[in-house]
Structure 1
């Protein structure tokens, strides 16, 4: 099955590789110099029409998306033409721009329409689900579908929300649930502060050094450092605002930005406090555990569930390791609900 799923991507990469290699060779040949106008238009058609259409028919259409979804790739193709075609041929690209601009404007309108629908859906889902991340995830998957790119986009929007817009928000706790914090007694705040300080000092030093070689690389490195700082801050804010919640039938687990899932109590095989030991590579394949924090609770499930980890990646897990400020109280609460369910 895995091989079958990868074939469309491999086919697309192979086809565009052949097209780009052929066009690059043609743009640097004597034939191009002799008939620049005609061949410039032919190469432009490859980059702004043929390649986006190949992407649509080989990949996008399988996901039942509108053809307008490939409009950004036409713009990328146009920008690539500015690098590929020699300067004397650039005046011909004005004709290509006249074709692309209406499609790009239509794409902007389409994105605006989708964004407004997602925002309205988010407000309605937040009233029902009480958790911003859960509400955003449901709204976006309902509107644009569920795939790895949607999951990554949700992760990035969630990070921005907790890094910039969460400072006056209160804890997200649904009614009739018992909430358990996991940020007060851990060393995660110390790690975050130390890592941010290191990233700032290291960022300044390395930016100066790298700028001697390449300003572009220096700024890319600095942007990467800023992103990591925002990710660490957002993760800790998400921890503060999203305690683990135990209800009659489920555990709502939004552990910062590091992991998210909702195991059913009826699916829990065992739950207990533990003294954490380093997991083996084999154990890591079916487990989730907090970063740089020694877990003190282990949930073992009867059947694996799909959990969301950093950057929206999904993983089938059967063992969930957690750190909680009151581990024994959490275990007792879960066991009481489990006993009620078994009656």
Structure 2
């Protein structure tokens, strides 16, 4: 998983990365290319290869925490991008580097497939671990998998998709937990109605546009239909995830989530301060359900040191502050004070 470094240097590194990529794009794919590129373009192409396969991965390393495998993968990707960015006439002396990049990517792909096989191998043990935790799969699945397998971006994405299908199709008989230690986020808002409205809009748009587009382009109409089906499944799953996962205080930890989009688990001992009615920082992670009007958070919670939150598709983010708006703020206040 790509975890952003919380430094000012990471922002500058990303800016430089954009400049490096855009300058090479303009060099080879702009109306001025024939004027800028000399007849003997060997050293120009060599410089571009250095930019794409060395400088760009180093800038990514400065912006994100990369493993050795990820860093090598970005180097290989740089060679492959260079092959498609640089015209074949100029790239011909460096063709062997393209095949080296392909070989590295094939090795990385094989490693990822092997990891997926490992997940299926451990699936029974993972299922038992999730059941034993007696917790919501939204919080329990990823930790149960990563107890046995090293965290990986592809696995995180696939597990997030599995959670989406689970909440969309397998949770309709589950009851909303009504406990003394849980507080809902959505009952006093229009979050559920908003998602239902989006589902209706997608269905109507699918019926209206699909048949018209079907006559124009069969492939495009099928792609649009699949995207719309996926979107409907996602919003149904999001509704269920919001309903079934209220804010909870359990086993000395604060569990907060907002559908499939964001969630975090923080030990109460890691909370530095709690402020009611305070404006959150721009970097704060907000747990505020959608409403017809702009809803303001009721409480801001600061941590002693950054905590890892899980976002869409299994992405992670380190946050030092979260802000919440709940249906029963007095109950949350009492639970946090206890």
Give me the whole-angstrom Cα distance separating, in 2, the residues matched to 1:69 and 1:157.
Answer: 21
Indicate the structure with greater helix content: 1
**1:287 corresponds to:** 285
Could you tell me which of 116, 137, 142 is aligned with 2:147?
142
> Structure 1: 5+ residue runs without aligned partners?
26-42, 61-66, 72-106, 337-343
Could you tell me which of 201, 218, 226 is aligned with 2:221?
218
Q: 1:242-283 deviations in whole A, cap 9, x for unaligned?
A: 2221136221223321221112222223334438x7x7xxx4
> Structure 2: 5+ residue runs without aligned partners?
11-58, 90-94
Q: 1:118-150 deviations in whole A, cap 9, x for unaligned?
A: 232222232125222233112322343213222
Q: Is the Cα–Cα contact under 8 Å of residues 256 and 287 in structure 2 kept in the other structure?
A: no
Distance 1:19 1:193, change over 3 A: closer
**1:15 corresponds to:** 79
**1:158-177 alignment runs, 5 A limit:** 158-171=163-176
Distance 1:119 1:297, change over 3 A: farther
Q: Is the Cα–Cα contact under 8 Å of residues 118 and 139 in structure 1 kept in the other structure?
A: no
Q: CA RMSD in A?
A: 3.5
Distance 1:291 1:151, change over 3 A: farther
1:151 aligns with 2:153: no
Q: Which has the higher contact order (CA 8 A, sep 6+)?
A: 2
How far did residue 113 of structure 1 move? 6.0
Match of 1:146, SS state, is coil
Q: Is the Cα–Cα contact under 8 Å of residues 183 and 325 in structure 1 kept in the other structure?
A: yes
Structure ID, larger Rg: 1
Q: Is the Cα–Cα contact under 8 Å of residues 116 and 155 in structure 2 kept in the other structure?
A: no
**1:125 corresponds to:** 130
Give me the whole-angstrom Cα distance separating, in 1, the residues matched to 2:226 and 2:277.
Answer: 39
Could you tell me which of 48, 52, 55 is aligned with 2:105?
55
How far did residue 328 of structure 1 move? 1.6
Match of 1:15, SS state, is helix
How far did residue 313 of structure 1 move? 1.9
Alignment coverage as a number of residue pairs: 265
Q: Is the Cα–Cα contact under 8 Å of residues 140 and 150 in structure 1 kept in the other structure?
A: no
Q: Is the Cα–Cα contact under 8 Å of residues 77 and 101 in structure 2 kept in the other structure?
A: no
**1:201-216 alignment runs, 5 A limit:** 201-216=204-219
Give me the whole-angstrom Cα distance separating, in 2, the residues matched to 1:335 and 1:272.
Answer: 12
**2:256 corresponds to:** 253
